[in-house]
Amino acid sequence: MAGTPPALTLLLLTALSPLAAEEVVLLDFAKSHGELGWLTHPYGKGWDQLQNVLNDSLIYMYSVCNVLEGEQENWLRTNWIYRGVAQRIFIELQFTVRDCNSFPTAGGGSCKETFNLYYAESDVDYGTNFQKRQFKKIDTIAPDEITVQEDFTARNVKLNVEVRSVGPLRRKGFYLAFQDLGACVALLSVRVYYKRCPAVVRGMARFPETVAGPDSQTLAEVRGSCVAEAVAEQAPALHCNADGEWLVPIGECLCRAGFQSLEDTCQACPPGTFKAAVSSGDCQPCPPHTLPAPAAAAACPCEDGFFRAPEDPPEHPCTRPPSPPQAVTALGLGAAVQLRWAPPADPGGREDVTYSVTCEQCWPESGECRPCDGGVRFSQPPRGLTGTEVTVTDLEPHVNYTFTVEARNGVSPYSHLHSVASATISVNQTEPPRVTSVSLDGRTATSLVLSWTVPLRQQSRVWKYEVTYSKKVTELDTLKPTPPSHPSLSPPSTSPSTSSLHPCPDPHQPPIRATSILAPISVTSIPAPSMSLPHISSIFAPPMPPLPVHDPGVTLPCPQVDENSYSVLRCEGTSVTLPKLSPATAYVVRVQALTADGHGAFSPQHEFETLPEGSEAMASAAVITGSVTGVVFVVLLLTALLYILQRRRRSRPRQSAEDVYFSKSDQLKPLKTYVDPHTYEDPNQAMLKFTTEIPPSFITRQKVIGAGEFGEVYKGTLKRGRKEVPVAIKTLKVGYTEKQRVDFLSEATIMGQFCHHNIIRLEGVVSKYKPFMIITEYMENGALDKFLREKEGEFGVIQLVGMLRGIAAGMKYLANMNYVHRDLAARNILVNSNLVCKVSDFGLSRVLEDDPEATYTTSGGKIPIRWTAPEAISYRKFTSASDVWSYGIVMWEVMSYGERPYWELSNHEVMKAINEGFRLPAPLDCPRPSTS
């Protein structure tokens, strides 16, 4: 740990080192002072209790030393020892053994330097009844050091200490026994105890004292409870091993808000400090603009006028709304206003200042004021502005506008004060509307049908529209006519990119006085008289007599047009037909709106071309020819389709009712052949080929709905895109063997090869992470036998037969796949909410045993013989024919609402009855054809 601070190193060593075990003593011979009175066998020979002095202390011991008497078998048995809660006991022996060489003539070589340790469990005390066959050997005890003759003479005894363990123990008590086969041994101490993990507080969690487990290879998980004022996101746990040591901590408790940790306890934060969240941190002083907090505070309250937004961390100072915006000004630009302001002098201690602009319009004549209507447009959304300017357009003339700018920040919603500033401006004239686009609706060799658009809000202000058109001049790309000198027809403004075309003065139109719109203006106008007919005028040619126009009910005069002139057409609607045009000729067109306040700007010029002469007749002929050809083609196509369908009907073989039932769309596909995953050298390759790996994050386990052969079965959900679908989740239990893992995943490999409406559907597997899982579709009604028992008498015969037909369809599919199920029974049929039955339970290898109460056995449990065909029992050969026998038993189960086949007969009696010709009788109310 180079570079690690010493304090951190100590903390790491403390966290990683196991906590010492406690020993609970069940027997201590050394402390009994010889009062135990153990049993010796044979009585009066062999072991004997002696007194001696060791280190100036009187000690008691059991000793045996018959090395000179030939073959020996001397037993010393303890009294009955109550086990209590112990699952594994430890036996500590202190003893001495003399060297056989100390006895030169010792029994002709029968001298030993070891003895044996035995134990026997019992629920009662047998007293003096001693039977050697009751005892099981624990170990042969050999000394590390032997007391030789010189040591014995010098009274320098070599003391040995050995410890052995026994477990698991299941009876109420036990005996220990020591067998001597010709050694010179002295037992000075026998101490029997069990270990437990002591009660401890670790990671702010209390763990109770826990008896060590019986198996030295396993860890017992113990849940802890948090100390007062502490909480845990994940339940804290420690693991107690067989030696009584705490290991492998999981999770921890943390002091909740307002409390800090101090020596494995949670103490309240002192006044003036706070702790905002569940954490291991310490309390902190209150931030600026807050009041002193009381004890155990999770946050400090804000001062008057200061607030804290929900997203503000409690560690940050409290803030307040900003001051009003500064220097709000409104600059008029005709029908638009540019609104500007400066940021507030005090942002309130925050950086999230935004602005909201509201508008109010007032009419000077009436004094009426109201919020601006929806026609007023802002260059940016008027709420949540981060800049300090905005442009407002589409304002009405002769109206006073008041714009209010409000500065806001994250705490403004919590204050009743509003930080606002206003500016007022009068708008006396607005820009006349402008035609935004011109489109071609239709054309002939001598006319063009045009239409155009104007902003909806300004349509009511338009008096008429003026359409200017002329032949396209090859020498110039744009039309540049001489503008008229009459002031009443001059547009309010022009731009270099769009030249204006002006018609001759209209004698019926009164003069209009117009000024610039670059600033707020006054417009004086005389209402134009209503006109029943629009007029066409020519600047370069005298007016022509009126000519009809294609607009319904409108008659317009039209001039003679040549290449050096342009024409102007006035109309009231937003569409017009330009008549008397030259064939195959390009025309340049522009449109402007006329209002009482002046003329709007011209639209961009558009170019349209008339059709060539005679093209209309050709187009009509082409349309007729195409229509006739299309009708003939459709008739021929329908005739061909009818012929093909008739041929198919005649060639289709007659189907039986069963064929119709089993001809679902997914069964019309070519059937595959089942592949046994155990034929693969590496079963994992088979699993990768036939299953889909699902990430564990897509799966949610909700509740346990059963326990299978390999582990628990859960109901859960599987994320599929944005949806969550219910699924069943089979898990592999902890502590599995490699064979169990292969068998578990083989079941998924088998299911992954099937695709049928009546076979349980595999969604996928989790094989790269633990726990291993098999994900299948969720069947709401569970196993068929249990479901029928719960719903006894609720279904009609037709519904029951429908269930059987579904099972038969699934089994026929399996038979065509060359798969033999071997365990078809109602308990292995699952039912969904629509009463569709699906075959399940695949992939278990079964071998018949000789046990008369068992039948064929899986790797995890025995399957009753009641569903198995006689030939499969006798010859251990399973085929689709044996599955048919099992299907007959399933039929009986369904029609009897889940009754147990052969009732209470034993398996042996069932086999005997079947071999003698006995068959199950028809259930009550069962249709006769089903049992024939």
Q: Is the dihedral of CA 153, 156, 157, 158 positive or negative?
A: negative
Q: Are 195 and 244 in contact (CB under 8 A)?
A: yes
Is 121 annotated to bind ligand?
Answer: no
Length of the chain: 932
Long-range contacts made by residues 897-905, C-beta under 8 angstroms, separation at least 24? 897/788, 897/789, 897/791, 897/792, 897/793, 898/784, 898/785, 898/786, 898/787, 898/788, 898/789, 898/792, 898/826, 899/923, 900/866, 901/866, 901/867, 902/866
**DSSP state, residue 279:** B
Residue 775 annotated as part of some ligand binding site? no
Q: Was 384 annotated as part of a binding site?
A: no
Strand partners, 513: 524
How many angstroms separate the Cα of 904 from the Cα of each of 827, 898, 899, 908? 17, 14, 11, 11
Distance (Å, whole) CA 584 – CA 611: 5
Ligand-binding site membership of 706 (annotated): yes
Q: Which residues pair with 238 in a beta bridge?
A: 222
d(CA 230, CA 682): 50
What's the rounded Cα separation, in Å, for the pair 764 and 166? 45
Q: Are 196 and 212 in contact (CB under 8 A)?
A: yes
Residue of 869, 865, 903, 864 lying closest to 884 (CA atoms):
869
Residue 672, marked binder: no
Which one, of 551, 604, 561, lies nearest residue 585 by Cα? Answer: 561
Residue 705 annotated in ligand binding: yes
932: enclosing H helix or E strand: none
Taking residue 55's Cβ as centre, other Cβ atoms within 10 Å add up to 5
Three-class DSSP category at 239: strand
Query: Of the candidates 415, 417, 407, 414, which has an alpha carbon nearest to the alpha carbon of residue 346?
Result: 407
For residue 557, the tally of other CB atoms under 10 A from its CB is 18
b/e for 181-209, b at 16 or more Cβ within 10 A? Answer: ebbbbbbbbbbbbbbbbbebebbbbbbee
Question: Active-site residues: which are they?
Answer: 823
The residue assigned the tokens 């897509």 is: 698
Q: How far is CA 927 from CA 801, 806, 885, in A?
A: 10, 18, 19
Of the candidates 421, 471, 466, which has an alpha carbon nearest to the alpha carbon of residue 448? Answer: 471
User: What value does the CA radius of gyration of the chain take, rounded to a whole number of Å?
Assistant: 52
What is the rounded CA–CA span in Å between residue 165 and residue 192? Answer: 9
730 is in an annotated binding site: yes
Q: Is the peptide bond before 771 cis (omega within 30 degrees of 0)?
A: yes
Q: Which residues contact 919 (CB under 8 A, 6 or more apart)?
A: none
d(C-alpha 328, C-alpha 774), whole Å = 69
How many C-beta atoms lie closer than 10 Å to residue 56's C-beta?
5
Q: How far apart are the first and last CA of the chain?
A: 83
Q: Binding site membership: which residues?
A: 705-713, 730
Q: Binding site membership for ATP: which residues?
A: 705-713, 730
